[in-house]
Every structure is written in C-alpha cells, then in structure tokens.
C-alpha cells in the first residue's frame, strides 16, 4: 500500500499518551502534539499531578489528565486503593481512544510502573492498539507478558532499548550480521508484536516480513525525535487499522496495519527532520521538526479537497 493511499484513511481519531512525571514533561508533549499535527482529532495526556500544569502550559490543544501518582506521594497502606482509582479513571476514557502510547516521559517509579501495567492490560482486553516507547520499553522488557501475543502492540526501541530486549527475550547479544533474522526471531518469540528498530535505517518487522526505511533525514540527532515518531505511529497505525477493518480486507491478503503505521511515520519524520535541518542547521531542535510535520505530510501525500 502506497503512503498516498493514506488520504483514504482520514477518519481522524483520538490518541492517548500515558506518560509524564516530575522530571520529564517534554516527551509526552512532543508525542501528543505530533499526533495532532499528523491529523488526530484529539490528543490526551495521562500524567502525574506534578507534570500536568507544565504540560498544559505548552499548548491549549492538549487534554491533560493529572491522575497518575508516584511512590513518594502515596503511603504504603494507600497503594491498592490509589492504584484502583487510577485505573477506574482511565477506564472511563479508554473506549474513546483509537490508540494509546505508553512510555514518553514516564520515568521508572515502581508504583507508577505498576499502575501503567494495569492500564496496558485493560487496553489489551479492549483491543486498543498500543505503542510502547521510552520508559514503557523498560517496563515491558521486565514484564514481556504485557505485550506477549498481542498483534496490536508496537514497540519502538532505540539501539540501547533494542539491545536490552534482545538480551532479555532471546538471551543473546545483538547480531548485526544477521540483523533482519534476529529482529524477525524477536518478534516471533514475543508473539505477534510489531517492532520498529530505530537507527540510521529504521527496520520494521511483525515476525513475518522485514521492511527497512533508509530515506536520509537529518544529521542532527536532537532528543525528542522518538517522541514525534511514537505519536505519529499511533495515528497512522489506527488509520490503517480502521481502513482495513472498514473495507473488510481478508487477513491473508492484507498488510499488517501496525507495520503500515510504522513505515508511514518513519518516512514522515525523516522528511520533516530534513526540512528542519535545511532551515536551522546545527541549531535544529525537536520543536523545529514538529513545525514541518504538516508540510512534510502534504508533500508526501497531498490532502486534496
């Protein structure tokens, strides 16, 4: 499926970012605002109370839910009740979402991780596609069961996160000489998931086929590009899934919509990063790249009327 067929997938959609704590407020913002810039109708952020006001100040476009808690703010005898109330609040919104992104700016607080694990389990039961990035990958590396055998899960590891996944799941080191075969084996071992291994070339597999996106983007590797990617993946994969389901494509002939979402997002980010670098050179930062998402999407796939 050519990326320009995406213009037939514009049902828009609603995306939720699960992440954002005291130390990290930029990552969930980048993911959420990128989802809007790509074409989502609404973008929600579920974060800790300490992060909420900061994230809200970045943009009035985002719907921010300050409901997550970290260990320091919860007494030991309150943990079970607080965890239950957090899940209950998220569940009230869950059925509205077309995809969730778990991990941007999440941090690694143990209580917060437990709460997010419960959210992921519920999303899976509700058949909601889930993109796992950043600290979400730290979470699932230590609890593979959260994504095991889930065909609606997408993992987007960088080189270090991928190394930890390979060590944990395949019990070996990364093998660059047989990179495609190892990526395929990793997907198959976890079962059904789609993995986009980020790097100079983004390599994508669902355990059946391997696709590589090597279009040159930008020599400037500023932090935050992975957050743009995760927000974009959420939108494109939900569009592709909606398109395939609404057109009743036979499973044996259709392309995996999660893979399509990864390919489209990789191409878009690389195009936007190239345009941002052309304008800003070495001073390019993540917000510069976000500014070019709209133009890049139009260049790749004109919206028409």
Residue 224 marked as a ligand binder: yes
Residue 125 marked as a ligand binder: no
Alpha-carbon span 229 to 225, nearest angstrom: 6
Residue 227 marked as a ligand binder: yes
Residue 299 marked as a ligand binder: no
Sign of CA dihedral 276, 136, 96, 195: positive
Residue 225 marked as a ligand binder: yes
Residue 175 marked as a ligand binder: no
Longest Cα–Cα distance of the chain, Å, equals: 58
Residue 149 marked as a ligand binder: no
**What token pair was written down for 43?**
């973008």
Residue 200 marked as a ligand binder: yes
Task: Give strand pairing partners of 15.
Answer: 43, 99
Residue 209 marked as a ligand binder: no
135 burial level (CB within 10 Å; 0-12, 13-18, 19+): buried
* DSSP codes joined into one string, 17-28: EE---SS--HHH
Residue 159 marked as a ligand binder: yes
Alpha-carbon span 301 to 221, nearest angstrom: 25
Residue 218 marked as a ligand binder: yes
Residue 161 marked as a ligand binder: yes
Cβ neighbours of residue 156 under 8 Å, at least 6 residues apart?
131, 132, 133, 137, 195, 196, 198, 226, 229, 230, 233, 262
Residue 252 marked as a ligand binder: no
| Structure letter (DSSP) for residue 5 | G
Residue 21 marked as a ligand binder: no
Residue 221 marked as a ligand binder: yes
Residue 226 marked as a ligand binder: yes
Strand 42-48, strand 210-213: pairing: unpaired
Residue 192 marked as a ligand binder: no
Strand 194-197, strand 153-155: pairing: parallel
Please report, in range form, the residues annotated as the binding site for (6S)-NADPHX: 105, 158-164, 227
Please report, in range form, the residues annotated as the binding site for ATP: 198-202, 217-226
Please report, in range form, the residues annotated as the binding site: 105, 158-164, 198-202, 217-227
């Amino acid at each position: 499926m050519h990326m320009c067929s995406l213009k037939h997938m514009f049902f828009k959609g609603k995306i939720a970012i699960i992440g954002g704590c005291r130390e990290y407020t930029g990552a969930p913002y980048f993911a959420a605002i990128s989802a809007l810039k790509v074409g989502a109708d609404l973008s929600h952020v579920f974060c800790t109370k300490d992060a909420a006001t900061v994230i809200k100040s970045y943009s009035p476009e985002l719907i921010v839910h300050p409901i997550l808690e970290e260990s320091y703010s919860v007494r030991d005898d309150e943990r079970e009740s607080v965890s239950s109330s957090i899940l209950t609040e998220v569940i009230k919104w869950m059925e509205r979402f077309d995809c969730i992104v778990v991990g941007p700016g999440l941090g690694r607080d143990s209580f917060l991780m437990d709460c997010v694990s419960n959210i992921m389990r519920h999303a899976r039961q509700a058949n909601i596609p889930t993109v796992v990035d950043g600290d979400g990958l730290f979470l699932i590396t230590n609890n593979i069961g959260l994504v095991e055998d889930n065909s609606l899960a997408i993992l987007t590891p960088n080189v270090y996160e991928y190394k930890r996944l390979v060590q944990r799941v395949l019990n070996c080191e990364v093998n660059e000489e047989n990179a495609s075969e190892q990526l395929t084996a990793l997907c198959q071992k976890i079962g059904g998931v789609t993995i986009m291994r980020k790097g100079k070339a983004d390599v994508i597999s669902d355990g059946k086929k391997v696709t590589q996106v090597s279009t040159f983007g930008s020599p400037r590797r500023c932090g935050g590009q992975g957050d743009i990617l995760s927000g974009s993946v959420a939108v494109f994969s939900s569009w592709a899934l909606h398109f395939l389901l609404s057109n009743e494509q036979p499973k044996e002939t259709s392309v995996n919509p999660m893979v399509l979402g990864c390919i489209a997002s990789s191409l878009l980010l690389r195009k936007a990063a190239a345009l941002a670098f052309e304008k800003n050179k070495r001073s390019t930062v993540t917000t510069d790249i976000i500014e070019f998402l709209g133009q890049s999407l139009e260049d790749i796939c004109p919206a028409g009327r």
